[in-house]
Every structure is written in structure tokens, then in C-alpha cells.
Structure 1
Amino acid sequence: MIDLTGIRIAGATPRLLQWGSELTPTLGGVTQRLDRLGSRHAIDVQMPPMRVEADGRRWIARLLLAKQEGGRIAFPQVDFEPGPCGRPTVSAATASGRLIPITGATAYYTVREGQWLSVTHAGRSYLYCATAQVVLDGSGAGSVPVDVLLRSPLSIGDAVELSKPVIEGWLSGDGYEWTLERSRTVGLGFTIVERA
């Protein structure tokens, strides 16, 4: 996984990829929602124009490598200040569901509705969005409801990143391209889709 967290972002379009569906009876009746494992996130990133030499050259090389090995960037949270959150980790083994049990955060830390977080399990990070405000207890413990079903079992001690969450996965598409301008600048953009 290539670390791309140092990039400057000129614009980004995050999105939810959802594999659930609505089941509508053929003869009318109540429509039901069927959630399926695998719903995850993606983000389109546009970097600001930069001179080909030397920054553009280096970022082209990093993105070419990330196309082969996957990439990781910090998920942008515009104008959001998470504050001191301690060193949160997963507090209980969890196999499924939409709650992430955490401990080790700052006492009485407030996880805000819409705050993004990532959990690292077995060396892979998974991005989630908190769907409700949760005030942790005096020992920095509590359970955070998230937007999609857990995509991996969680183990006690897995790192929970509340201050600088990351999104990691594959750079989508069959190839990778960039623009070269007559002004000797380069325009770079890419899409990261979480692997699972």
C-alpha cells in the first residue's frame, strides 16, 4: 500500500458504493431494504496543477506505483477540528454489525455525527462515518454507530483513527493517465476505491 497522505487536494468527490437493494413485491406491499456486506467508500481526487519538474515527476511515479499496489490518503474533513482524541482502539472482538466498540480515547471525547474514522485490522484500514453523536465515558470508552456494515471482523486492540482517518484501496480503472501542459505543468487526478 503506497502512502499518498502528503498530497495536496484541490478538489475531491467522496461517495458511497452500496450493494444493498430494495425489495419491492410484484403485487404491491411494503418495500424492504436488504443490506449486503461490501458497501464501502470511494473518493475522486483532483490535485492542483504543479510543475512537472520536480514535484509532478515524483507524484506521477508514486501514483503509477499505487496503481499496482494500492494507495492510502488522508480522508478530507473540511473545516472540521477533531480535537485531542487520545489513542483509541477497538475494545471488544466484533464480527459484524454497525457499531464499533472503542476504548482509550480522551475521557468524555465527543464523536460527532458525520465525523469520519478509520479502523486498521490486520494491516488494512477501513473507512466509516459516524451516524450519531456519541459522548464517550470517563475512561474514553463507548460504541460508535457507523454508516455501513463492518467489512472485516475487528479484534481487541485494532487502532481506531479519529483525528486523521484514511481511505485506502485500489486506484480504479484499467490504466492511469495524466495531462502535460505547454506551461510545463501537470494535472493529476485519481480515484481510490476501498478493496472491501
Structure 2
Amino acid sequence: MIDLPEYPSPNGATPRVLDFGGFLEPASGAQVQRINRMGSRYAVAFTMPPLPNQKHGRIWVNRLVRGQQEGARIEYPLLDFYPGTPGNFVVDGAGQAGKSLHIRGGTPYYAFYEGQPFSLEIDGQHYLDFIAAGTIADTSGDATITLTQMLRAEPADGDPLHISKPMIEGFIMGDQLSWSISLERLIGISFEIHEAA
């Protein structure tokens, strides 16, 4: 797994859902049904500011080429959202599935907000998701959070949540990975990362 550079950071991002569910639309005119399937996940298209080749451009290009083959990881942008001081939340108990996740070990009374991004790390792999409904941790720093997508893998007891610095991890996707080189010796890059699972 290739860690993409933290600096310079992207100057634009376009997240989207990779939806593996579907709709059943009967030809008879009966009620439309939504079928939700486990596995829906996220992709983000990033744009970079012009990068000086000698200092940053060549490193970014190399890591993106490697990320196409080995997978890549980058911080999900929080924009103006400040996550505060969540502490060190971890999964509380094995065997969890669905859209609820019991967690422990965080800051007492920490408030989770609807739409707040986080990543759950399972066996070293990050799974990006968002808080579906606001909740507040109890006096011990325990909470049950509601997820936007169903859990895509079964977390183990003690697996960490990344709240202050959520990550998206997957493969650099597209028909081809390309970059532009200007006469000013600047590199222009845009890329898209898809979660693999």
C-alpha cells in the first residue's frame, strides 16, 4: 500500500458513492423496491495544484503509478469540519455487522455529527464511511454509532477508528494515468481513487 504525500495536498476533491444496490421496477406498475447490498463504498477524484517537477511533481507521479499497481492511501479532506479531540476510539467487541458499531475508549461525551467522515481500520486496511446520525459518547467514552453504509468486513475487537484523520484507501483507477508537463517545469496531476472493498 502506497501512502500518497501529505504535502502538497490536493486543491479539489469530488467524492462519490460506488453503489452496488439496485432498484426492482416491475413492468406491471407495482411498487418499486430498493435492494441494498453489502459492498457499497466510495471513490474520490482529486485535483492537484501545479507541482514543481524537481521538488514534488516527480514524487507524486511515481507514487500514483505505484498506487495503480499496489493500491494507495490518502487523507479524506475535512474542509471546514473540525473533529475536536475524539480520543482513541476502537471497536468494542467482535462479530459486529450491519449499520451499527459499538465503540469504546474515546473522550467522554465526545459528540459525533451526522455526515462526519471517519475510517475504520481492519487488518491494516482503511474503510471510509460517514456517521448517519449524531450521537454522544457516554461518561466512559463508549458509544454506538450508526453508519451510512453497511460494514464491508467484520472488525475485530480493538480495531481503531480514525476520526481526526480519516483515510480513503484503494486503487488509482482510470483507463490511463497521465500527467501534464508545462514549459514552466510544472506537473499537472488529477487522479481518482476507488476503495477496493
Structure 2-normalised TM-score? 0.96
C-alpha separation in 2, matches of 1:52 and 1:14: 27
Q: How does 1:75-94 map to 2 (within 5 A)?
A: 75-94=76-95
Counterparts of 2:123 and 2:53, CA distance in 1: 37
CA drift of 1:44 comes to 0.3
* CA RMSD of superposed structures (Å): 1.1
What is residue 70 of structure 1 aligned with on the other side?
71
The aligned counterpart of 1:137 is 138
How far off is 1:29 after superposition? 2.2
Matches for 1:17-96 after TM superposition, within 5 Å: 17-96=18-97
Give the length in aligned residue pairs. Answer: 196
Q: Moved runs in structure 1, 4+ residues, more than 6 A?
A: none
**Distance in 1 (alpha carbons) for counterparts of 2:15 and 2:146:** 20
Aligned residue runs from structure 1 range 154-173, under 5 A: 154-173=155-174
Q: 1:105: which partner in 2?
A: 106
How many angstroms apart in 2 are the aligned matches of 1:125 and 1:5? 17
SS of the residue aligned with 1:188?
A: strand
The residue aligned with 1:2 is 2
Distance in 2 between residues matched to 1:142 and 1:5, nearest whole Å: 33
**What residue is the counterpart of 2:17 in the other structure?**
16
Alignment deviations for residues 84-137 of structure 1 (CA, whole Å, 9 cap, x no partner): 001000002234201121101100100110100111111111001111101111
CA distance in structure 2 between the aligned counterparts of 1:117 and 1:147, rounded to whole angstroms = 11
Structure 1 residue aligned with 2:125: 124
Identity over aligned residues, as a percent? 40
Alignment check: 8 A CA contact 1:22 1:32 kept: yes
| Offset, 1:5 | 5.0
Q: CA deviation at 1:150?
A: 0.7
SS in 2 for 1:113: coil
- Alpha-carbon spacing, 1:5–1:155, altered in 2? closer, same or farther (3 Å): farther
* CA distance in 2: counterparts of 1:131 and 1:89, whole angstroms: 18
- Counterparts of 2:55 and 2:75 in 1: how far apart (Å)? 23
Q: Please, what TM-score do these two structures have when normalized by structure 1? A: 0.96
- Partners of 2:162 and 2:81 in 1: how far apart? 15
Contact 1:5/1:74 (8 A) holds in 2 = no
Is the Cα contact below 8 Å between 2:68 and 2:171 reproduced in 1? yes
CA distance in 2, matches of 1:113, 1:95: 21
